[in-house]
Structure 1
């Protein structure tokens, strides 16, 4: 079985996010970045399936040169190979364009053997739109099952468990298929020292848009159907209020909470 996990390089959520003042896009070059934490659950699901049977796992990323770090982390976790589509024309692409590049890259990966299962995180931690898996399934003309809390493969199909607020559903689809995985599905493994060293020898291919057959005019900010009109940086954190207890600290604290409408 051949499994491809779509991964994304995102700005570190704990760092201050900055924007390009020229086009209002998120700065992905001058800020710390990392593999999207939600994608780690998709990677773990793929590795678990691979360990249970005969499967090869490939990590696929689209993004700037630094996005190679997301592929590297996936390799360190245990993924067998990586593909990185890097092209300056991709800058500013929306979900529609991203799904196009991913679909074309998956088709190229499939030239060396059909892809049986495509796994994605439930959303990206920077955009959080949760629409790329559905768009990808539409472009590939494949069945899609979403928000999987568990993933099982057998007898030519995939079965997932989806946990909702009021019920749990068991959903099945024939293979090949696209599956998005939630952050409740598993506990992603940490890269071991052995995995880190092994990752250095694993194959990683870097492709341009021309390599996957995408016209630069179909992607990027110029082709985007959505754009950020404006943004406002969050205000700096204000210094907290110190309540001095001179015998009536309790009253002062309650008064402060009431003033802030916390009670």
Structure 2
């Protein structure tokens, strides 16, 4: 009994130490500096809650929050609707089922930055060129350069890449549904919509909860796609909270101020995730 205990500690302690060094300690350090006026270099002094108060007065922060929430809500809805439809299609008895599953999962293994740069070229060069030849005037201009439409391009890329992971989770839920339930529903005269609403959806409700929470959390933390595609522009039209924290903290000499912003945003994400989990789990019970 002694050897397994030693092996357990040898496996877990190094991982815990590394996690503390590269995750917990920097997080605690950021919280500490959020109560100072440190610019990322030089001397500093404690300023109390001044940074936190200033965050709520900053119009740029407010704009970033509004954009991030708009982006996250739209993307979360789209990615769950699309991935559920794809999962239901892939779960049907069709040819090349396993091959199609592998193809649909491919976007998830690609680097987000690389995908962003590729789509940046597509939106800036390829789409306008094709649209010009086809006579589609609305698409002859790069939408990433339009302050009103740039966010739609980012939503398209983010959803396209995120659908892969969500589809796999929905597939895992769909295979757990007994075929007898569908047979019984068909014998009762239930049409396709009723079978989905009264059989499929209640059975995959836990997977729906997981997908909704993870998708919302990931989209609220959006950074790579924006960095690669628009850099937060045009102007500040697509500047997310994560990008604002990065730029202000590491490029703008606002390390302490953006640390306070990061702490507030962390709390916001936790609150949203908890509310989502409780609401959706309550829905699971009601179903």
Q: Same fold (TM over 0.5)?
A: no
Q: Which has the higher strand share?
A: 1
Normalised TM-score (structure 2): 0.22
Higher-Rg structure is 2
TM-score, scaled relative to structure 1:
0.23
